Amino acid sequence: MSIISDSLKRIKPSPTIAVTQKARELRAAGKDVIGLGAGEPDFDTPDNVKDAAIQAIKDGDTKYTAVDGTPALKKAIVEKFKRENNLDFSTDQITVGTGGKQVLYNAFMATLNKGDEVIIPAPFWVSYPDMVLLAGGKPKIIKCDEKDGFKLTAKKLQKAISKKTKWLILNSPSNPTGAGYSENEIQDLAKVLIKNKKVHILSDDIYEHIKYDDFKFFTIAQISKLKDRTLTMNGVSKSYAMTGWRIGYAAGPKDIIKAIGKIQSQSTSNPSSISQAAAVEALNGSQYFIQERSQAFKQRRDFVVQSLNNIKGISCLTPNGAFYVFPSCKGLLNKKTRLKTDADFVQRLLEKENVAVVQGSAFGLDGYFRISYATSMENLEKAIERIRSFCENIS
């Protein structure tokens, strides 16, 4: 009899982490691998944030803190929501976790009962369904078409809602597609949700500040009739290049926030005191670099999208934000290429050209693959040429 729990059998390891690890192993073996699987900025944490962490260490700010965040960080988060989103919260409506992933996991563990359904638009971030499964819930995957920009429509949402629906997850801008919901699109979804009063909304806003062109970020909690049913998750990892610092946060109804704190009190307890001090400076300090870095990401995005659309068999939409593209490889899945699935495409690309990307099926939509352009232009230029060579010579 296995000692491993049955609940663990329902999930699989993160495909994005697996790809990144495979790329590391191949590099260690001497291969010239270009990894385009990692979901983290290649920029460094800003100096003022690092200085705040160093000062916290010098000041002896190295002890346990309140389980779900220091008063200083909660205050900074409250001010952030007011300043940037015109949302009013009190500090007892704020929770801080060890990364956005823990906040989401805690939310599901705190609210889901066996059989509760969570609507997850696909393509989705790989961890959503598995976290729901671990919490005893049931992921309800709704495939979103490329013709709709990979976004959930009001019609599909209405059809997906059942008596068992507890949550809807919205991620904008999105991982893996970079698609962003406009205010009008969110308003259309809101009309459905206002009528279905038992459905709560989990808004994953982690890529809020990484946006391009004329896209204007709008989060669903800004719709007053839905604020009391919305948990808005964000963090410092992407916008401030602080992935390793592990600070995520959320704002929402007091009962959910309290329940999340209860879960955290019996698992990790508080996030790192040093990381919290750094996060205070990230939120309160200068924001000049966000626009500067978004402009660098935009230049990479434009290069990658244009280049991919010039490769036979590949087509790619232009994303609104984040640092991913989600091109189609359907034109190369045929008898001539001997590629049957996007997983075949990804595996052969790694074997033949030493380029690591992630198959679309890992995100719930077959026939695509995800590229992270959070790397140097030099790496992107080399990777695109290798992808071009692979697609032109595959047989």
Q: What is the CATH number of domain 63-284?
A: 3.40.640.10
- Say which range, 33-37, 101-105, 361-365, has the weakest mean pLDDT: 33-37
pLDDT at 184 (0 to 100): 98
List, for residues 133-168, the tens digit of each pLDDT value.
999 999 999 999 999 999 999 999 999 999 999 999
Asked whether the predicted pLDDT for residue 108 surpasses 70, the reply is yes
What pLDDT, on the 0 to 100 scale, is given for residue 395?
67
For the segment 63-71, the average pLDDT, to the nearest whole number, is 98
Asked whether residue 7 carries a pLDDT value surpassing 90, the answer given is no
pLDDT, residue 134, reads: 95
Taking residues 374-384, report their average pLDDT: 97
Per-residue pLDDT at 37? 87
Per DSSP, the residues of 225-290 read: HHHTTEEEEEESTTTTT-GGG--EEEE--HHHHHHHHHHHHTTT-SPPHHHHHHHHHHHHS--HHH
In angstroms, the CA 222 to CA 87 distance is 7
Confidence of residue 361 (pLDDT cuts 50, 70, 90): very high
Are 107 and 231 within 8 A, CB to CB?
yes
pLDDT value of residue 341: 95
pLDDT tens, position by position, 236-268: 999 999 999 999 999 999 999 999 999 999 999
pTM of this prediction exceeds 0.85:
yes
- Report the pLDDT value the prediction gives residue 94, as an integer from 0 to 100: 98
Mean pLDDT, all residues of the chain: 96
Residue ranges per structural domain of the chain: 7-44+289-393, 63-284
Report pLDDT digits (tens) over 173-225. 999 999 999 999 999 999 999 999 999 999 999 999 999 999 999 999 999 99
Domain 7-44+289-393, second-level architecture: Alpha-Beta Complex (3.90)
Judge contact between 305 and 326, C-beta under 8 A.
Answer: no
